[in-house]
Amino acid sequence: MFGNWLKTSILMAGIVALFGVVGGAIGGQQGMLIALLLGGGMNLWAYWFSDKMVLKMYKARQVDASSSPYLYNMVRELAQRANLPMPKVYVIDEAQPNAFATGRNPDNAAVAATSGIMRLLSERELRGVMAHELAHVKNRDILISTISATVAGAISSLAQFGMFFGGRDGENRPNPVVAIIIMIMAPIAGMLIQMAISRTREFGADRGGAEISGDPEALANALAKMEAYSKGIPMETAEAHPETAQMMIVNPLSGGGLRGLFSTHPATQERIAKLRAMR
């Protein structure tokens, strides 16, 4: 748990520093000060509200025991097994089979599953997937995951702002060199921050999910199915906001062009092999 808090602190400090560098390039000392204040404010906002933003982005609808007893009761039983507070449960009306967890801590957590995953997987396999998401909650991965998704999008927006207002030359015209540097470096920095925190967490959540459900083979089978089906079923929201891809249990992106840089998941076959070795 301490490791994740340390990573979160480093991430937040990096965000503020990056905002300061871009602000300085755009508007000198005054621009740096304004950008530092914006970076600090964004950290506070992301801590409290980034989970709600991501759920709204995916048009997730909250369900309960009456509206979706199958999924809700499954999550409740697994949360009890994991000694976790009952998280909020959401359904996303997307055909691609996928799921994610979000929130700032176990007391304010949410898990979301697509309608596609509930159609594709057996009950046993779906239990494995939801146990994986609860393992993210238990390991306290969800805060840094949600914040990084939110801030990476903001960093890209900041870079676009810098492209248009990136420094001034002697005649008070936009400096194209500064603009190009900001446009290239800021999104790369955001992606590096994400990739540094994302890959190893999936192995930990796979192991934790297998322990919670008591069925590593079910999660392995679920991953194999999702990997096969997700590539042929695009998820438009993830394609439009690739910074959120690292929250999903399997990579939802097509992988073409720059989107491939947001592929923060380890190889699915390697994850499956590790799960089957647990039998």
Query: Could you list the active site residues?
Result: 133
Is the Cβ–Cβ distance between 56 and 110 less than 8 Å? no
Q: Largest Cα–Cα distance of the chain, in whole Å?
A: 70
CA distance 223 to 239: 20
Count the residues in the chain.
279
Measure the CA–CA gap between 120 and 56, rounded to whole angstroms.
Answer: 24
The torsion region of residue 124 among left (phi > 0), alpha (psi -120 to 50) and beta comes to: alpha
Which residue's entry shows tokens 């449960």? 89
Q: What is the DSSP string of 49-105?
A: HHHHHHHHHTT-EEE-TTT-HHHHHHHHHHHHHTT-PPPEEEEE--SS--EEEEESS
> Position 63: which residue type?
V
CA-wise closest residue to 162 among 146, 133, 183: 183
